[in-house]
Amino acid sequence: MKVTVSAGSDRPYYIAKYGMSSKGCYYRVGSSCRPMPERMIREMYAKRVPTTLATIIAPSQNLKFEQLKIYYSEKKHPLNDNFAETLDFLTPEGKYNFVAYLMADNNHLTFKFARYAGTDKCELVESSEYGFNCLITTAHRLADRLLVENRTWTKITPKLRLERKMFEPIPAREALINMLVHNDYSRGYTPVVEVYSDRLELTSHGGLPDGMTVERFFSGVSRPRNREIMRIFHDVEMVEQLGSGMNRILQYYDKSIFEIHDDMIKVVFRFVPGFEDDLQSKNEESADLQSKLQSKIDSNEDLQSNLDSKSDSGLKSTERLSRAEIKIQIVGVLKENPSCTYETLSKMFNISRASVANYLKSLSEAGVVRRVGSDKDGHWEVV
């Protein structure tokens, strides 16, 4: 059995009788305890974290959590009326904190996605913004975007047909989730995803958490900077909270893909040989396909006028969405058109009427939507 005890964030701890002095502060050397020099006390005290996401008041207090309720209900953990206290969404003064802001449907945080034509930032091909949603929704959409970007390279040889992805999908997803969970949001920065002609770069801000060494980082020691976010992602089964994600990354790549600095961590996934020459010619085509994909997933405007065209295309992008993602899209449609019928939703999402009924039943049981009036003349209301 191996027990790992993480250091606290309010160091140095001291004997109350002597205060924060060499008599009151000690540190371990082998099997002995030694008085802590004044210099060490000052340096350790300077590294104290004055604020956390749990104590920062959210920029807006008018927050909605419909998407978060859907994710929890999908995992058979429906949120009750006291979920704000349970998930540590409140400051000591009883106001929504920044954790709540990150998990709210209506935050104003933006996550940048950029693609460049070459190996530097001289020629920008595309700049997209994700976010403005629950952080879990943003994670799903960025993960879907990486799947779209990760094309297959094919090479025909006299004997074999060789196929490889541009980059390994499992390590990329792990790095993406880690980037979103461990980013230092208290500094006002959000993570960035960048695609060049030869590589994918994922950048998070904040460097290593206080007390975490590079050796422990690569050994898979779990020391989350944002414990509240980690807990929620664990609840919806997006992380394991055991540090196993690093092992999954290092199964495919070596440690050199990480660039660790005091204020940021960057993960660089180099494309397999053969993509560099092919990628630039496909940039415009990919940008057009992604634009169509995003419009189908994100936009519910002009619902009735666009229904026929969406029905023709079958919204094939929804085939890659999870049940929770489809529910979120249905909630968005009902917001725009409370009188939307089962048949309309069935055509929009290319699913059966029975499936629509099951989704709406699940949303109703989770307290996200409710039916007002009769089935024939009533309408839907987003709670």
Look at residue 301 in the predicted model and tell me its pLDDT.
41
Looking at the chain, the domain(s) classified CATH 3.30.565.60 span: 49-297
- Tell me, what's the pLDDT at 45? 81
Higher-confidence position of 232 and 316 = 232
What's this model's pTM, rounded to 2 decimal places?
Answer: 0.69
> Mean of the pLDDT values across residues 354-375?
87
Q: Span 49-297: which CATH code?
A: 3.30.565.60
Alpha-carbon distance of 246 to 230, in angstroms, equals 15
Q: Which CATH number fits the domain 299-382, given the four candidates 1.10.340.70, 2.60.120.260, 1.10.10.10, 1.10.8.10?
A: 1.10.10.10
Write the pLDDT tens digit of every residue in 193-231. Answer: 999 999 999 999 998 887 788 998 998 887 888 999 999
Computed over every residue of the chain, the mean pLDDT equals 84
Query: Own/partner pairs for 216-224, CB < 8 Å, 24+ apart?
Result: 217/246, 217/260, 218/246, 218/250, 218/255, 218/258, 219/243, 219/246, 220/244, 220/245, 220/246, 220/247, 221/4, 223/6, 224/181, 224/182
Q: Residue 378 CB: number of other CB atoms within 10 A?
A: 12
Q: What are the distances in angstroms from CA 146 to CA 165, 195, 271?
A: 11, 10, 13
Of 338, 336, 324, the residue nearest 299 (C-alpha): 336
Among the listed residues 228, 232, 174, 240, the one whose alpha carbon sits nearest the alpha carbon of residue 204:
174
Q: Is the dihedral of CA 234, 237, 242, 247 positive or negative?
A: negative
Residues of the chain with CATH 1.10.10.10: 299-382
Q: Who has greater pLDDT, 176 or 305?
A: 176
Which candidate, 186, 235, 221, places its Cα nearest to that of 79?
235
The full length of the chain comes to: 383
Please tell me the predicted confidence (pLDDT) of residue 376. 77
